Amino acid sequence: MKSDLHQRRRPPTDEELSNIPWLTLLMPKEHDRAVNALRVGDAEKGDFVCRVGRPVTYWFGNVSGLLKMSTDNIDGQTMTFTGVPPGGWFGEGTALKREAYRYNIQALRASVVAGLPLETFHWLIDNSLGFNRFVMNQLNERLAQFIAAREFDRLSNPDLRVARNLAALFNPVLFPGVGDLLRITQQELAYLVGLSRQRVNEAMIHLQEEALIRVEYGGVRILNLHGLRTLMIDRRNKDNSSKENVL
């Protein structure tokens, strides 16, 4: 965690605590211990929450704002894995293994980031059934997310890349704080997708025409999450059907 962000840490407010989804799964003793240990930091745009090679000290979550998970290759190019919208917690695998981070987490805009100290994280793993279930669901869902990410990284069609990335950001298990409206700009989405803002804008227009999303002031509203997730399959089926009809 960047030193100045760490120095700005403070106890969370009641409103910030209400935006931490797993707290409601804890028993009273567990809840009190977690709340007393939790700290939040006000990250500015560009601040690093964690960096490659740094030892894990907290399990982190995004209370508000928008973060991105990425890494740099040997050529210095940045590869973005995913965005982290409000309600998303990340790094449980790293925390469980007590190893160094293999990715960077950086704020794309001013964000409030919560951190649960590593020792409290492990105490909850050892003592809380509700917390264990939450972490297991996180790990299972994240595995599926990264398998899907490998697939759409190879996609050249911008509509499909934007659709898959939006579907990932609306994941109700990993990011329960999003609901059906994601506060994101086209430039921020372009950073996450790896396309220009102009190409993202074109893709958003096409997805809106297919009644999958609706672009609203300051964000994107989901209209058909299943449709976003299966857009590539649907188009492949249509293409195959067209070829069969020609034959």
Same domain for 134 and 18: yes
pLDDT number for residue 153: 59
Q: Is residue 76 situated within a structural domain?
A: yes
Global pTM reads: 0.82
| Shared-domain flag, residues 23 and 115 | yes
The verdict on residue 57 lying in a domain is yes
pLDDT band at 243 (very low <50, low <70, confident <90, very high): very low
**In the listed set 121, 145, 169, which residue is the last one of a domain according to the structure?**
145
130-139 long-range CB contacts below 8 Å, 24 or more apart?
A: 130/22, 130/25, 130/26, 130/27, 130/30, 131/22, 131/25, 131/26, 131/30, 133/25, 134/21, 134/22, 134/25, 135/92, 135/96, 137/173, 138/89, 138/92, 138/173, 138/174, 139/92, 139/93
Residue-wise pLDDT for 25-70, tens only, equals 999 999 999 999 999 999 999 999 999 999 999 999 999 999 999 8
CATH classification at residue 218: 1.10.10.10
- Please give the pLDDT value at position 155: 60
83-141 pLDDT per residue, tens: 999 999 999 999 999 999 999 999 999 999 999 999 999 999 999 999 999 999 999 88
Tens digit of each residue's pLDDT (9 = 90 or more) over 212-242: 999 998 899 999 999 988 886 655 555 445 4
What CATH number should be reported for the domain holding residue 67? 2.60.120.10
Q: Domain total for the chain?
A: 2
